[in-house]
Structure 1
Amino acid sequence: MAGSGPNSAGGAGGRAEAVGIVAAMLAVDPLVSALPARVPAVVPWAEPALLPQILLAGGGALPAEAVRHVLTVLALSKPGDVYPGLEVLTAHCTADSLAAFAWGLFEQWRLVGMPPKESWALHALGWLGDDDTVRRLTPVLRAWPGEGAHHRAVEGLAVLAEIGTEVALTHLHGISQRVPFKALKQRAREKIAEVAEGLGLTGEQLGDRLVPDLGLDADGSTVIDYGPRQFTVGFDEQLRPCVRDADGRQRKALPAPGAKDDPELAPAERKRFAALKKDVRAVGAEQVRRLEAAMVAQRSWTVREFQELFVAHPLVGHLVRRLVWLAESGGVVTAFRVTEDRTFAGADDGELTLPEDVRVRVAHPLHLGGDLPAWSAVFAGQGILQPFPQLGRPVHRLTGEEAAGHRLTRFEGASVPVGKLLGLTRRGWERGEPQDAGVERWFHRRVDDDRHVVIGLDEGIAVGALDVFPDQTFAQVWLDSAPGDYWPGRGYPLRFGDLDPVVASEILADLTEVTAG
């Protein structure tokens, strides 16, 4: 926190610039015409002495009185209707200090209980925030629904969309795919859909294009510059950092700045390295999840998309090289892998060239058939560790009776601890809508718009009180056009045998794992 003393513009020139900024913000057309009849007063909790300094681009900082005018400008602004004076502020002040100021303001707002009338303090993060703001805000948004602040979390999604950087949209996409609160996840999906529609893409296609390169070079490295010393940082196939000095010697870790290093540059670069490691872990985990989901859903890409979005990406490229892929054209399917030099090779290690008209997708072991042992030998021989189970993935098949029917009776009657059951949400299953007395009576997994695999539960999950019914019995497991209760007298025309074998295998794998003793 900065005290009121430091909140001053250095020297007569700085004070004059501050005065000019304030005048431009509040006293010059068209800004005057935008002022309401009653200008909001600065709230007591937003005392400038408690907030980080706003630094001028030309040097110095805004004095406390000017900061009060900034607070007024923010209070006058609304989502989609920002007071014009904000543009003057961002044009004359440093972006880093504005982002830090906005975060300090947000924290003060949280400390006083997040009064709804001052929710502009949350939206200020969207107008003034940066990628670091995104990293700090996202965990807060994820937690808010569990703290009874769902509406605030939804507002926070708009903030991420307002910041609009690749990092912001990546985190927004992450919430839309993986958060335990269904309503927040749905709102995030709607936000992503809005952005995607504006670009003429689907949500998943946008997600492919939102993977940040984190400022890394094409080979996946970056230089950490301490001034007299430089270090090259790259990442191995498991996305762990590798540090080399100027002579190319590998170090165990990036050293702390020394007495001979640049006193300003070195600490800033070390901080950048710490943020980079954190971002790589987060991006890597999300992309592993997305690639596994793409394998199950059998998403495919053109050769150009595959090259640009996956093979050439400085981070995703590491994951791509640890998987077997399929190229399909005219009914002919060819399995291949991506080598260290980003060329393509078959199981015999012979180089392959992919025609422009093929579609590329992640191979499921069911697709590899008799070639599976050969590919397993290649990866084992080269010590390639896969980011998720692919070649060693268990394969399950329906019995003839199951394929001809709408129920999976082999799982019915199984008793499952509720905590273990909830673990299925990480694999695409969803909790049912609360019914009488707030009990969720089913679990379900969407196959497509018209087909859902549903688990009828006995007694059901008590919302907010998981210990009321700690064990759940699978009463029925069936295929239906929509999730809901099972009605014995009703006809069920859908058949499990009509599901794609990969989808059927994955469903059986989930149910086998969750019901295992």
Structure 2
Amino acid sequence: MDAPPVPDAALHGLLPAPPAATDWAEVAERLRGDPAGSRREYYWLVMRGPDDLARELLRDERYFDAWSGAESEAALLRIAARRGLAALALLLHAAERHGLVTALAPFRDAAVARVMVGALDGDSARADQARVWFMCHGRDAAVFVVPDALRDPGPERDRAGRALALIARVHGVRCVVAAAREYGAEAAAAVEALGLDPLLQCPDPPPEPDEAFVRERLPRVLLRGRAAALPVPAVRALVTMLRMSTVEEPYGGCEQVLPRLDRASLADLAWALYEHRDRADGRWAAPDVRYALQRLGDGRTAARLAREMGGWDGAAVPPGAGHEAVEVLAVMAPDDAPAHLDRLARTAAAAELRAAARDRLGTAARVRGLTPEQLADRLVPRLGPDAPADDVRAVLAEQAGRLEEAMLSGRSWAVDEFREVLVAHPLLGRLARRLVWSASPPGPDGSAAFRVLDDGAFADVRGVPFVPPEGARITLPHPVRLDGAEAWADVFAGHAVSQPFAQLARPAHVLTDGERASVSLGRLRGTRVPTGRIVALTARGWSLPAPPLRMVRQRQLHRTTPDGHALMVTFEPGIHVRHPHRYAEQELHAVLLVGARQARWGDVDPVAVSELLTALTTDPTPPAVQNPKAET
């Protein structure tokens, strides 16, 4: 059986795979003598080695603790898919000792059931996995849980009862009672007496809203077909059911009522509940409001929530709120969510929200067989010629920022993808025609740079047609990687083409041989810069660490480059934490590579170096976007 499609990047130190001709018997002998030796060899023997050797290793508990960290989850999923029941002992160990329950999803026995019952009180990720396991396995899972649900009162009984309630909500009470009947009629009667009917699972007293709140603050809720509306008492009952619901455990009566009501008016109700939520506890939304948004919201609701999320103050977002809100947004409107997530990943004020959106966007991209960047390319709206000028301008500005980031990161496109996704797009094509591109490897005559003409054809700096060689990758070259930037600037000036961001006019800082061999850049020592420039860098990926205890001035800037090098810039007199504008200027002292790696500046990506020097010596300017209706 082939392993599931877990990304190879998630396997970390287990790659690369050994050669096909590996002597697995020799590997097994080596592992027997040193179980703590090579985690990588163990993994690949289990995945590719002979069945008898793989089963032997999977029975040996001496190897189990090597699979304890969160990074083991992807490997355990592959091992489970490849070896099935032979892997169960390893998977149970990883779940019981380290909370890694995901790979147990297809397995079903008493030991797995005990792990899943315990996971209901674990962190949110484990609890979600456990809930899915009970709902998927239904009656077969209930058989293993019934004895604990009928034991003496205590935490184990409470968790088992919650597990049976989960099963009953999806599969019905009869399913659970039938499972209990395997232990006899008395057990079946006792389970029936637990009150597992989803309609009976409600607090006492129920959380009813005030009638005046329903009448004055909430919109009308229409019946399906929009011919009639619910009376206020019925809306009050509906809101009560919503208040008893969470995303993980909705009240059972909701699904009996919601399909009979108008979708758009339910979405308006969800947004009204969000707007009038209790803000006293500091949460972005209570569990019941999250359920209402996710279950009742539509594309309009998703757009509203995404706009609000984008402006959340980073300091005011509680831990975990970003991931919660992103998940609600993604489930609420699956077709619209990727575009919202892409925008949040790049522009949200809160760092946690940006990270959560990137993670969820990555999941959406993998489902489609794309990278997040490829998915973002395909989400750009194809506005027609009659689209409002402001809409066109906003899209062009946003996409110009994405292309500038592609230039800085060195992103590349296959030639066909470049033609179809960028050049042929009505808006991206406008931007593509205003930039210089590069093909790697170069063409037959050694040329690599080209521009896109109005008809979609390519031409080099002399105007000669340019055909990228087969298999080439297209990039957007930074001027430090572009030969003949001045000649290209003359070409664009001659055709009156303005660039959507500084590419050809961008500063290109190149290191000397001495600087390349050093850990410090001495050229900036003594340079005086405005304090505001240093503060502004915190919005561009830099951080200003808090000063040491009893100190009140920040004197360091830190950043990690895209290729993984840690940078530190020191300056004086420093930025006063309570009065950041006390000193108008700062004098730069050291610009260093730091960290355990003995790196030199010559090891750092030249684009990152150039951008660093530009950032420290130039005030940032917003990109200029030309007339949105112009074609060039």
TM-score normalised by length of structure 1? 0.70
| Alpha carbons 1:416, 1:514 under 8 Å: kept | no
Q: What secondary structure, in the 3-state scheme, does the structure 1 residue paired with 2:435 have?
A: coil
The verdict on how the C-alpha distance between 1:141 and 1:470 changes in structure 2, with shifts beyond 3 A counting, is farther
Matches within 5 A, 1:84-163: 91-109=259-277, 118-145=286-313, 148-151=316-319, 152-163=321-332
Displacement of 1:461: 4.8
**Is 1:288 matched up with 2:400?**
yes
What is the CA–CA distance in structure 1 between the aligned matches of 2:261 and 2:414, rounded to whole Å?
44
Displacement of 1:191: 3.4
**Is 1:192 matched up with 2:348?**
no
| Alpha carbons 2:311, 2:349 under 8 Å: kept | no
Residue equivalent to 1:402: 515
The verdict on how the C-alpha distance between 1:134 and 1:422 changes in structure 2, with shifts beyond 3 A counting, is farther
Deviations 1:379-437 (A, max 9, x none): 22322221101122222111333222111222233444443213224444344467546
Q: What secondary structure, in the 3-state scheme, does the structure 1 residue paired with 2:439 have?
A: strand
- 2:357 maps to a residue whose letter is A
The verdict on how the C-alpha distance between 1:379 and 1:304 changes in structure 2, with shifts beyond 3 A counting, is same
Residue equivalent to 2:433: 321
Q: What secondary structure, in the 3-state scheme, does the structure 1 residue paired with 2:422 have?
A: helix
| Alpha carbons 2:527, 2:588 under 8 Å: kept | yes
| Alpha carbons 2:246, 2:290 under 8 Å: kept | no
Residue equivalent to 1:262: none
**Higher Cα radius of gyration:** 2
Residue equivalent to 2:458: 344
| Alpha carbons 2:199, 2:251 under 8 Å: kept | yes
**Is 1:474 matched up with 2:579?**
no
Q: 2:598 aligns with which of 485, 489, 493?
A: 493
| Alpha carbons 1:145, 1:184 under 8 Å: kept | no
Displacement of 1:115: 6.9
- Which structure dedicates a bigger proportion of its chain to strand? 1
Unaligned runs of 5+ residues in structure 1 are 1-25, 222-231, 235-239, 242-276, 483-491
**Is 1:419 matched up with 2:532?**
yes
Residue equivalent to 1:253: none
**Is 1:43 matched up with 2:212?**
no
| Alpha carbons 1:404, 1:495 under 8 Å: kept | yes
Q: What secondary structure, in the 3-state scheme, does the structure 1 residue paired with 2:482 have?
A: helix
Matches within 5 A, 1:18-417: 32-33=197-198, 35-38=200-203, 40-44=206-210, 46-59=213-226, 60-83=228-251, 91-109=259-277, 118-145=286-313, 148-151=316-319, 152-165=321-334, 167-199=336-368, 201-209=370-378, 211-213=379-381, 216=382, 220-221=383-384, 233-234=386-387, 241=389, 277-278=390-391, 280-329=392-441, 334-370=448-484, 372-417=485-530
Deviations 1:263-294 (A, max 9, x none): xxxxxxxxxxxxxx45x444433321111111
- 1:132 maps to a residue whose letter is R
What is the CA–CA distance in structure 2 between the aligned matches of 1:66 and 1:304, rounded to whole Å?
57
Q: What secondary structure, in the 3-state scheme, does the structure 1 residue paired with 2:618 have?
A: helix
| Alpha carbons 1:54, 1:61 under 8 Å: kept | yes
Cα RMSD after superposing both structures: 3.7
The verdict on how the C-alpha distance between 1:164 and 1:117 changes in structure 2, with shifts beyond 3 A counting, is closer
| Alpha carbons 1:144, 1:150 under 8 Å: kept | no
The verdict on how the C-alpha distance between 1:194 and 1:458 changes in structure 2, with shifts beyond 3 A counting, is farther
| Alpha carbons 2:565, 2:593 under 8 Å: kept | yes
Residue equivalent to 2:59: none
What is the CA–CA distance in structure 1 between the aligned matches of 2:570 and 2:313, rounded to whole Å?
26
Taking CA–CA contacts closer than 8 Å with sequence separation of 6 or more, which of the two structures ends up with the larger relative contact order? 1
| Alpha carbons 1:403, 1:497 under 8 Å: kept | yes
| Alpha carbons 2:559, 2:567 under 8 Å: kept | yes
| Alpha carbons 1:73, 1:83 under 8 Å: kept | yes
Deviations 1:81-109 (A, max 9, x none): 44565556664444433322222221111
Unaligned runs of 5+ residues in structure 2 are 1-168, 174-195, 621-632
| Alpha carbons 1:321, 1:339 under 8 Å: kept | yes
Displacement of 1:299: 0.8
What is the CA–CA distance in structure 2 between the aligned matches of 1:33 and 1:202, rounded to whole Å?
41
| Alpha carbons 1:46, 1:105 under 8 Å: kept | no
Displacement of 1:470: 6.3
What is the CA–CA distance in structure 1 between the aligned matches of 2:256 and 2:396, rounded to whole Å?
38
What is the CA–CA distance in structure 1 between the aligned matches of 2:454 and 2:172, rounded to whole Å?
60
Q: What secondary structure, in the 3-state scheme, does the structure 2 residue paired with 1:52 have?
A: coil
The verdict on how the C-alpha distance between 1:347 and 1:475 changes in structure 2, with shifts beyond 3 A counting, is closer
Displacement of 1:180: 4.5
Displacement of 1:478: 0.9
- 1:43 maps to a residue whose letter is P
Deviations 1:336-374 (A, max 9, x none): 22233333333344444445511111122233313x334
Q: 2:616 aligns with which of 501, 511, 516?
A: 511
What is the CA–CA distance in structure 1 between the aligned matches of 2:547 and 2:359, rounded to whole Å?
22
Question: Which deviates more from structure 2 when the two are superposed, residues 50-59 or residues 73-82?
Answer: 73-82
| Alpha carbons 2:573, 2:586 under 8 Å: kept | yes
| Alpha carbons 2:559, 2:568 under 8 Å: kept | yes
| Alpha carbons 2:218, 2:273 under 8 Å: kept | yes
What is the CA–CA distance in structure 2 between the aligned matches of 1:414 and 1:148, rounded to whole Å?
36
- Percent sequence identity over matched residues? 37
The verdict on how the C-alpha distance between 1:178 and 1:416 changes in structure 2, with shifts beyond 3 A counting, is farther
The verdict on how the C-alpha distance between 1:47 and 1:312 changes in structure 2, with shifts beyond 3 A counting, is same
Q: What secondary structure, in the 3-state scheme, does the structure 1 residue paired with 2:277 have?
A: helix
Q: What secondary structure, in the 3-state scheme, does the structure 2 residue paired with 1:337 have?
A: strand
What is the CA–CA distance in structure 1 between the aligned matches of 2:260 and 2:453, rounded to whole Å?
49
What is the CA–CA distance in structure 1 between the aligned matches of 2:266 and 2:578, rounded to whole Å?
40
TM-score normalised by length of structure 2? 0.58
What is the CA–CA distance in structure 2 between the aligned matches of 1:396 and 1:117, rounded to whole Å?
48
Displacement of 1:508: 1.7
| Alpha carbons 2:435, 2:451 under 8 Å: kept | yes
The verdict on how the C-alpha distance between 1:429 and 1:124 changes in structure 2, with shifts beyond 3 A counting, is same
Q: What secondary structure, in the 3-state scheme, does the structure 2 residue paired with 1:476 have?
A: strand
What is the CA–CA distance in structure 1 between the aligned matches of 2:257 and 2:578, rounded to whole Å?
45
